[in-house]
Structure 1
Amino acid sequence: MKFSGNWLRKLVDYQCSDEELAHKLTMAGLEVESVVPVAPFFDKVVVSEVVSVQKHANADRLNVCTVDVGNHADGFLQIVCGARNVVPGMKAVCALIGARLPELNIRQGKIRGVESFGMLCSAKELGLESESDGLIELPENAPTGVDFREYNELDDSVFTLKLTPNRADCLGMFGIAREVAAITASQLNLPEVTPVVPAISDILQIRVEEPQSCPLYCGRIVKGIVASVQTPLWMSRYLVHAGLRLINPIVDVINYVMLETGQPMHAFDLAEIDEKGGQGICVRYAAADERLLLLNGECLALQDDLLIIVDSSKPLALAGIMGGSESGVTEATTNIFIESAFFSPAAISGKSFKLGFGSDSLHRFERGVDFSMTRSALERATALILDICGGEAGPVAEVHNDLPRRDAVKIRQKRIAKILGINFGIELISEYFQRLQFDYSVTEDVFYVVPPASRFDLVIEEDFIEELARVHGYDLIPALLPKAPIHMLTEPEIGVSPIKQLRQILVARDYQEVINYTFVDAQWEADFSGNGFPVRLKNPIASHMDVMRSSLFGGLINNLQFNLNRKQSRVRVFEIGACFSKVNSEEKEVENLAVLCSGSVYAEQWGIPDRGVDFFDIKMDVESLFWPRNISFESAVHPALHPGKSARILIEERPVGWIGELHPRWQRKYHLSQSAVLFELKIEALASELLPIVQTLSKLPPVRRDIAVVVRKDVSVAELLEAMNLEKDKSVSEISLFDLYSGENLAQGKKSLAFRILLQGTEKNLTDQEIDRAVNGLISVLDQKFGATLRG
Structure 2
Amino acid sequence: MKFSESWLRSFVNPALSSAELSHSLTMAGLEVEDMTPVAPAFTSVIVAQVLSVSKHPDADRLNVCQVDIGSGTPQQIVCGAPNVAAGLKVPCALPGAKLPGDFKIKIAKVRGIESSGMLCSAKELGITEEASGLLTLPADAPVGTDIRNYLALDDTIFEIKLTPNRADCLSLQGIAREVGAITGATVSLPAITPVAAQIDEVRALALKAGDACPLYCGRSIKDVNARAATPEWMRRHLERSGLRSISALVDITNYVMLELGQPLHAFDDSKLAGAVQVRMAEEGERLRLLNGQEITLASDMLLIADEQKPLALAGIMGGEESAVTLDTRHLFLESAFFAPSVIAGRARRFGFSSDASHRFERGVDFGITQTAMERATQFILEICGGSAGPVQIAQGTLPARPPVRLRTARAAKVLGLPLDSAKVAGILRGLALEFTQDGETFMVTPPSWRFDMEIEEDLIEEIARLIGYDNIPAVAPQAALQMLPQPEQERPTARIRQFMADRGYQEVINFAFVDTAWEADFAGKTGDNELIRLANPIASQMAVMRSSLFGGLVDNLVTNIKRQQNRVRLFELGRVFARSDDHNQAVAGYSQPWHLAGLAFGQALPETWSSGKRSVDFYDLKGDLEALFPSCSLRFEKASHPALHPGRSAHILFQGNPVGLLGELHPKWVQKYDLPAAPVLFEIDFSVLKAQAVPAFAEFSKFPAVTRDLAVIVDQEVHWQAIIDGLQTTLPRLVTGIHLFDVYTGKGIPENKKSLALRVVMQDTQRTLLDSEVDAALQNIASELENKFAAQLRA
Q: Secondary structure at the match of 1:333?
A: coil
Partner of 1:398: 394
Task: Give the match's secondary structure for 2:315.
Answer: coil
Q: How does 1:708-719 map to 2 (within 5 A)?
A: none
Residue identity matched to 2:21: L
Unaligned runs of 5+ in 1: none
Structure 1 residue identity aligned to 2:471 = L
Cα-to-partner distance string for 1:409-468 (whole Å, 9 max, x where unaligned):
555545544554422223222222222233445565555555555445556655544432
Corresponding position of 1:253: 252
Question: Is the contact between residue 265 and residue 318 of structure 2 (CA under 8 Å) also seen in structure 1?
Answer: yes
CA distance in 2, matches of 1:284, 1:539: 28
> Deviations for 1:274-325, whole angstroms, at most 9, x for unmatched residues?
44xx4x3344357557352x43445556678866544455443344333333
Residue in 1 that maps onto 2:641:
638
1:553 aligns with 2:554: no
**Equivalent in the alignment of 2:502:** 508
| 1:616 to 1:123, Cα distance in 2 relative to 1, 3 A | closer
1:231 is aligned to: 230
Distance 1:332 1:373, change over 3 A: same
One-letter amino acid of the counterpart of residue 177, structure 1: A
Is 2:293 the counterpart of 1:290? Answer: no
CA drift of 1:189 comes to 2.2
The CA deviation at 1:240 is 3.5
Structure 1 residue 16: deviation in Å? 3.0
Q: What are structure 2's unaligned runs of at least 5 residues?
A: 582-587
1:526 aligns with 2:520: yes
Equivalent in the alignment of 1:619: 622
CA contact (8 A) 1:522 1:546 kept: yes
Residue among 660, 666, 685 paired with 2:663? 660
Aligned partner of 1:187 in structure 2 is 186
Question: Structure 1 residues 3 and 487, CA, compared in 2 at 3 Å: closer, same or farther?
Answer: same
Alignment of 1:152-551 (within 5 A): 152=150, 154=152, 157-166=155-164, 167-191=166-190, 193-196=192-195, 199-200=199-200, 202-207=202-207, 211=211, 216-275=215-274, 278=275, 280-284=276-280, 287=283, 290-292=286-288, 294-298=289-293, 309-343=304-338, 345=340, 355=350, 357-388=352-383, 389-400=385-396, 403=399, 411-414=406-409, 416-441=411-436, 445=440, 447=442, 449=444, 451-456=446-451, 463-480=458-475, 491-495=486-490, 497-498=492-493, 501-512=495-506, 522-533=516-527, 534-536=531-533, 547-551=544-548
Q: So what's the TM-score if we normalise by structure 2?
A: 0.75
Aligned-pair identity (%): 38
- The farther-off stretch of 657-666 and 300-309 is 300-309
Provide the C-alpha distance between the structure 1 equivalents of 2:714 and 2:476, rounded to a whole number of angstroms. Answer: 70
Q: CA deviation at 1:184?
A: 0.6
SS in 2 for 1:258: helix
SS of aligned partner of 1:225: coil
Q: Is the CA contact (8 Å cut-off) linking 1:552 and 1:680 kept in structure 2? A: yes
Q: CA deviation at 1:260?
A: 1.0
Q: Retained in 2: the 8 A contact 1:45–1:99?
A: no
Q: Following the alignment from structure 2 to structure 1, what is the Cα–Cα distance between the partners of residues 317 and 437?
A: 44
Deviates more, 1:651-660 or 1:559-568: 559-568
Q: Which residue of 1 aligns with 2:35?
A: 34
With 690-699 and 559-568 compared, the bigger mean Cα shift is at 559-568
- The more displaced of 633-642 and 456-465 is 456-465
Residues 349 and 455 (structure 1), Cα distance of their counterparts in 2 relative to 1, 3 Å cut = same
- How far apart are residue 3 of structure 1 and its match? 2.4
Aligned position for 1:690: 692
Shift of 1:181: 0.6
- Determine if contact 1:123/1:132 at 8 Å carries over to the other structure: no
Q: Assess if the C-alpha contact under 8 Å between 1:223 and 1:334 holds in 2.
A: yes
The 3-state SS of whatever aligns with 1:320 is coil
- Give the deviation of 1:173 after TM superposition: 0.7
The DSSP-based 3-state class of the residue aligned with 1:384 is: helix
RMSD, aligned α-carbons: 5.6
1:476-533 alpha-carbon deviations (Å, 9 max, x no partner): 33445555556666544354532x5444433433445566666655444334322122
Letter in 1 for 2:650: A
Letter in 2 for 1:171: L
Measure, in 2, the Cα distance between the counterparts of 1:314 and 1:351.
Answer: 20
Distance apart, 1:12 and its partner CA: 2.3
CA 1:56 to 1:746, structure 2 compared with 1: closer, same or farther past 3 Å?
closer
Q: CA deviation at 1:586?
A: 5.9
Instruction: Give the Å deviation of 1:681.
Output: 2.1
Superposed CA deviations along residues 222-264 of structure 1, whole A, max 9, x for unmatched, are 3343333333454344334333333233212211111111222
Does structure 2 conserve the Cα–Cα contact (< 8 Å) formed by 1:22 and 1:35?
no
Contact 1:18 1:35 in 2 (8 A): no
- Listed one character per residue, the Cα deviations across residues 122-176 of structure 1 (whole Å, up to 9, x for unaligned) are 8789876675756855466x8x799677995737523312313334332211111
Contact 2:45/2:97 (8 A) holds in 1: yes
CA contact (8 A) 2:572 2:597 kept: yes
Show the counterpart of 1:14.
14
Greater Cα shift, 252-261 or 342-351: 342-351
**CA–CA separation in structure 2 for the residues paired with 1:740 and 1:209:** 87
Matched, 1:738 2:749: no
> TM-score if structure 1 supplies the norm length?
0.75
